[in-house]
Amino acid sequence: MARSAAPEAISRDADILVLGRHGYETAVKGKNGFVCVVERDRTKTAFDKSELPVPEHGSMSKQQNFGPKYGNADPHLMFWFPQKDHMNWGADFPGSPVDVHQYSPQPITEFVISASKWSDGTAAHTNVH
């Protein structure tokens, strides 16, 4: 399930974490720097753990579930920045494909961009704005 967060070409060589009684444990050691995990309050993610100006992660699993309000939502990519940077990506403007979410209390700004396909390559029904 964790691997389904990203296309197989990415998740195949990623670290895989699973949730145990005492926290996440490494189930599979990867070799491409990506880390895939099934989050509990935001289901499956494929993290890029390298230190980038734009840390990125994807959530493209067809089985993802974000609860009763959002269901399995759209497949998407996420980008994180320090909140202090006051980044302007045109997010949340009408017609923009970018959404923004301010973490709290963490000082992090998260940008979300929908992907048109699930990680298995099948088309997603992305709402046209």
Partner 1 sequence: MARRTFKIIGLASSVLAVAVGASSQMRAQSQTPYPSMAALNQYLMPDRNAEIALARSAAPDSISHDAKVLVLGPHGYETAVEGKNGFVCVVERGWMGPFDGELSGNFWNPKIRGPICFNPPAARSILPMTYKRTEMVLGGQSKAQIIDGIKTFIKQELPPLEPGAMSYMMSKEQYLTDDGRHNWMAHLMFYTPLMDGAVWGADLPKSPVMLNPQFSGAPEPIDVFMVPAGWWSDGTADPGSQNDRLGSFCAGYRAGRVGASASTGPKSTVCEHGSA
Residues that bind partner 1 (CB under 8 A): 6-10, 32-34, 46, 48, 50, 52-54, 56, 58, 60, 77, 79, 81, 85, 87-90, 93-98, 113-117, 119-121, 123, 126, 128-129
State which residue, 104 or 127, has the beta carbon closest to partner 1. Answer: 127
78: which residues sit within 8 A by CB, 6+ positions away? 45, 56, 57, 58, 59, 110, 111, 112, 113
**Nearest-approach distance from CB 68 to partner 1, in angstroms:** 25
State which amino acid sits at residue 23.
G
Ramachandran category for residue 121: left, alpha or beta (phi over 0 → left; psi -120 to 50 → alpha): left
Question: Toward partner 1, which CB reaches closer, 65 or 96?
Answer: 96
